[in-house]
Structure 1
Amino acid sequence: MSEVWQLAIILIALVGGLVAGLASPAALFFFALLTTYLFGLVDISSALVGFTNNGLITLILLVLAAIALEKTSLLARLSQMIGNSSLPMTLAKLGVSTALLSSFTNNTAVVASLIGVVRRNQTHAPAKLLLPLNYAAILGGTLTLIGTSTNLIVNSFVENANLKPLGFFEFTLVGIVLVVSGIVLLMLIANTLPDRRVDTAEESLPYLLEAHVADTSALVGKSVVDNRLRALKKLYLVELERSGIRICPVPPQLVLQAGDVLRFSGAVESVELLHQFDGLEWFGKQQAKGQNLVEAVLSPASKLVGTSLKDARFREEYDAAVMAIRRGHLPLKGGLGDIELQPGDVLLITPGDSFSTNPRLTTDFAAISGLDLSVRLDSKRSNLVLFGFAITILASIANILPLAKGLVLLLLGLLAIGAVNMTEIKRRFPIELVVIVGSALGLANLMLETGLADVMAQGMLGVLNGYGYFAAFVGIYFVTLILTELITNNAAAALSFPVAYAVAVNYGLDPRPFIMAVVFGASASFISPYSYQTNLMVFNAGNYKFSDFVRLGLPMSVLYSAVVISVVPIVFPFK
């Protein structure tokens, strides 16, 4: 079997594994690279050369330096954009601010820092703001080279192909058109999103909490209503289990017995209401020692998916106890420890001492909030961080200092002033991203060296059957967009770049517009809640349904695509 077909089979298996979610993207990419080595397609030194790529090192340094940026007051100031203005005006202010901030810091940090503020807003329904906020952050990532990890990853491929590196503001003209048109569209159609602020307990307060009545509890021998279990603010008794028999709804006059299991539906802040009942042992109580609670969103690739807390031995494996579970707007029933977990489930956790250093957190959870909520830099160090970051970026733009070298100096400075520490760096080190990018660079090189990329390019040109290079450009963009919705943005960029480059070479054209088709196509994560990390975060926080993403994401994707297809060839001519 020729090298081309061997590599093709490996890549088909890789894509199949990514779509099916058989393992984390990092594990699948590394296994694919390892397989090419075992098949003799590449030697060990060539296989690992991608892990020392300058673009990858820059990306790692940027992620680590951003740890300090997240602890400044900059993100908190965005909350001032949510006031008493009309919905369109609020969306305009929030959208512009979010887009500008996400153009040079982590999208996940921007969205995570604002979710709580948006949900507490009394003027507008969170469902009308959270999804637009997420889309504004995605659009903002297209403004600069460091706006999203995808841009830096593509730049790694560009440098690896011995092409001129992408400039810091090379994306900006197209990005500005995308941001402006996207925010205008959000102002016009965001009001069509349903208001999820409903009155029914099961939908508006969807966390499932569980407690059992101890033998010595003062609740024993008294009815539900006499124990005032019907009069709890934002906490509703939805089910009682006795001797394996579930009673739902619970009659007000039912007398409680020792060993009864009570299940409540309630808001996060309602957990502390359970403290007032003597002898009521709630799930996770023994783990709770006054620490901040943590909300963790289950990743689609998590090993916890399809299993229960009991079967997964969650407490032992993570040094943490799950106090409650939330699944979007859907009410949950049954034992807390027996519920079969699904992607996107939000777990309310009381963490132990070693929880935050568990290496499985990055693979099992798409987002974790609460770990650093109490950490904020004082104004002096906050200003030093912002000044240092600005100087580093300006020095890179002015070609005074390479970005990677500037970020090394910045990171050393952040360590010196205590803005970050080695524990944070070890915990936040983007090992998954390193494995994906390093492996993807090796696979991309093989696609070009073996001729597979050229075969795929010829196949695309054959399908287009003489429609010209513009049709090929459009084809590359839509292939990348579809892959982004199916297998995440970074993986889509890794697989699309070699084909885009080969198509440009076949036509004898400047590769830039085809590279930009990959860059912008890989950022078009609008329709599926599972295609991008922040999509999954707001999916749960806003009680959205899949149809809500289609309602807002499909028009956004159409507009975004129209802008890219029409503006990129103007800014980046083919010849």
Structure 2
Amino acid sequence: MYDQLVLSGIMVVLVGCLFGTRLNPAWLFVGAICTAYLAGLISLENMLSNYANPSLITLVLLILVSIAVEKTTLIQYLARSLANGSLNRSVLKLGVSTAFLSSFTNNTAVVASLISAVKDSQTHSPSKLLLPLSYTAILGGTLTLIGTSTNLIVNGFAVEAGMAPLGFFDFTLVGLGALLVGLITIMVMLKYLPDNGKKNQEVVPFYLEGKVQADSKLIGRTVEENGLRDLKALFLAEIIRGERRICAVTPQQEILEGDVLLFVGDIHSVPLLQRFDGLKVVHDKHEKDVNHLVEVVISQSSKFLGKTVKEVRFREQFHAAVIAIRRGHDRLQGGLGHVQLQAGDSLILAPSEQFYELPNLKREFVYISGLDLQTHLAPKQSNMVMAGFVAVLAFSVFDLVPMVKGLMVLLLALCLSGAIKVNEMKRRFPVDLVAIVGSAIGLAKLMIDTGLAAQISAGLFAVLGDFGPYGAFIAIFLMTVLFTELITNNAAAALSFPVAYALAVGFGVNPLPFVMAVAFGASASFISPFGYQTNLMVYSAGNYRVRDYVAMGLPLSVVYCITVLTLIPMVFPF
């Protein structure tokens, strides 16, 4: 009883923090399992052993091996072929190819590798391609055991609960059905995506900053008198005066020395702002480069996430001045230096010549206008990488060599051949994922071993018992879908699995359909740009609004849910 009460408290705090705060989920899960250890619920040996789970090790090795796979000519060929044909043909080709690649390599890496080619497409608007790119990467991840981290994590949960390991293609039939109806839905809903092409660049809401200098003629005159009110494609949103923010700026607002004027609008209006006497838009040595601006998109692997431009000393780090920031269509507040950077943010930079020579550009950015950030392997080396990877998968599928062993040998060979550098592995090592998954496996085992999961399922059984196993199966699936839209997909799987397994045991049925409900439900993130990392990566790059995700993602989510709920019981009977 003591164990259940303490664990209940830990789980309530964990869930509350996941839903109610912006704290890093990795810290929350590690904190939860450490609290369980301090409370005597789990031994140190058992707690640490969860981080050596075979499924977790497999996932880490796959992420590291994918560093080489994404450099191969296969990715290059796909990127070059995107612009060929009509929009429908391009989206279909992009969708099928992305889904195929995502079925055996990290879908975040696939999107990162293709986002630059899509953004630079001269044939179709990026906004018509980027969201389908993200959605098909998610759908492709459901096709195989290794397609998404969620599938491997759920497999780890299942093995720890005493079930047989899931097979490589156990997900494929249901995943193919979901992919097929998903592609059809995307094609039908394509017309509702915005066309943010060149003709619509004037509405791109970049966030610009100008500072009033001591000798400026703007000082002592109102906004209206200075002609700052009716600027074409620009809107004066705020004035920062010391520690004070002046919002909803009126035409009668007087301009003072040192004021920071915050504009929202067209990045191409920077030269217009420079015509105002004493309004400094780009500072010191970067001023001469104002007509040679570059756009960059912050990477998911950037070490600057959650930090402000000022905190990371951006100018010193990159020899470039940040003159504008865009985050989808969100209205940012405060000075540019105080905006916390997020994955997917678009920054407009005035770079010096040293900027292009920096070695860490690929780590921090997934896209730089005019530059190809992807390192490419020579054709012979590329073929060897793909042959080795396919061989590892084949040996695993036919039970000749365990995947963990095959991936270890392949990773070592890739390092010795130079296809993967040690620095690349250090940069891409998924520390947060290891922390979440290792901790979540321990918490899931505790919920099952202490009987807490059984207690929760008993309560649900009282509510859902009249609906039978299928009703409970639907409830678990929808609960996981809700969780994955509100928190991370891996956290959603971790919270849902113990309850799903205990419900199946309570009904006395095969737990496999419930396990699959958790796996496929945790991959159903289509409605929000913040629910899945690939959605966030294309958010600013495609100049989307949240409503664009709802317009296409809601029908896609409904169709996906209906398809999965229909196919899982057919493929995996109760």
TM-score, length of structure 1 as denominator length: 0.82
Inter-partner Cα distance in structure 1 for 2:268 and 2:77: 24
Partner of 2:92: 92
1:213–1:261 Cα contact (<8 Å) kept: no
Q: 1:52–1:343: structure 2 CA closer, same or farther, 3 Å change rule?
A: closer
Identity of paired residues, percent? Answer: 49
**2:71 is aligned with 1:71:** yes
1:103 aligns to what? 103
Report the residue type matching 1:459 in the other structure. Answer: G
Contact kept? 1:142, 1:171, Cα under 8 Å: yes
- 1:336 matches 2:301: no
CA distance in structure 2 between the aligned counterparts of 1:29 and 1:553, rounded to whole angstroms: 29
Structure 1 residue 314 corresponds to structure 2 residue 292: no
Per-residue CA deviations over 1:429-479 (Å, capped at 9, x if unaligned) read 111111111100110010001101101111111111321111111111111
The answer to whether the Cα contact below 8 Å between 2:208 and 2:263 also exists between their aligned partners in 1 is yes
> Structure 1 residues 545 and 397 mapped into 2: Cα distance closer, same or farther (>3 Å)?
same
Deviations 1:41-91 (A, max 9, x none): 112112222011111111111111111111112222222443353332222
Aligned residue in 2 for 1:506? 506
Alignment match, 2:538: 538
Partner Cα separation in structure 1 for residue 282 and residue 474 of structure 2: 56
Against the structure 1 CA distance between its residues 368 and 285, is the aligned structure 2 distance closer, same or farther, given a 3 Å change threshold?
Answer: farther
5+ residue gaps, structure 2, are 216-231, 250-256
Aligned residue for 2:35, secondary structure, equals helix
Contact 2:270/2:281 (8 A) holds in 1: no
Other-structure match for 1:158? 158
Instruction: Write the distance in 1 (CA, Å) between the matches of 2:185 and 2:572.
Output: 25
C-alpha distance in 1, partners of 2:272/2:73? 32
1-side partners of 2:200 and 2:380: how far apart? 47
Report the CA distance between 1:329 and its aligned residue. Answer: 3.5
Work out whether residues 214 and 281 of structure 1, in 8 Å CA contact, stay in contact via their aligned partners in 2.
Answer: no
Superposed, 1:147-546 pairs within 5 Å as 147-197=147-197, 199=199, 203-204=203-204, 206=206, 208=208, 282-283=282-283, 294-296=296-298, 304=306, 309-310=309-310, 313-315=311-313, 319-320=317-318, 323=322, 324-329=324-329, 335-339=335-339, 345-347=345-347, 356=360, 368-369=366-367, 373-546=373-546
What's the counterpart of residue 44 of structure 1?
44
Q: Distance in 2 between matches of 1:25 and 1:568?
A: 29
Q: Could you say if the C-alpha distance between residues 295 and 201 of structure 1 is closer, same or farther in structure 2, counting changes exceeding 3 Å? A: closer
- 8 Å CA contact 1:325–1:347 kept in 2: the answer is yes
Aligned: 1:29 with 2:32 = no
Q: CA deviation at 1:4?
A: 1.2
- CA deviations on 1:202-254 (whole Å, 9 max, x unpaired) are 52362636689899xxxxxxxxxxxxxxxxxx9989899999899x99xxxxx
Q: 3-state SS of the aligned residue for 2:183?
A: helix
Check the 8 A contact 1:238/1:265 in 2, yes or no.
yes
2:300, 2:537 within 8 Å by CA — same for their partners in 1? no
Q: Is the 8 A contact 1:484 1:492 kept in 2?
A: yes
Contact 1:329/1:543 (<8 A) preserved: yes
The SS at the match of 1:190 is helix
Aligned-residue RMSD, C-alpha = 4.4
* Greater alpha carbon shift after TM alignment, 452-461 vs 126-135: 126-135
Distance 1:80 1:547, change over 3 A: same
1:405 shift after superposition? 0.1
Taking the aligned partners of 1:150 and 1:315, their CA distance within structure 2 comes to 36
Tell me the alpha carbon deviations over residues 242-286 of structure 1, each in whole angstroms, 9 at most, x when there is no partner: 99899x99xxxxxxxx999898878889999999xxx98835957
Q: Which whole-Å CA distance do the structure 1 matches of 2:213 and 2:505 have between them?
A: 72
**Unaligned stretches of 5+ residues in structure 1:** 216-233, 250-257
CA drift of 1:330 comes to 5.3
The size of the alignment, in residue pairs, is: 546
Cα displacement (A) at 1:386 = 0.9
Cross-structure match for 2:141: 141
Distance in 2 between residues matched to 1:47 and 1:390, nearest whole Å: 34
AA of the residue aligned to 1:540: S
CA contact (8 A) 1:208 1:326 kept: no
Could you tell me how far apart the structure 1 residues matched to 2:15 and 2:316 are? 30
Distance 1:415 1:303, change over 3 A: closer
Contact 1:319 1:354 in 2 (8 A): no
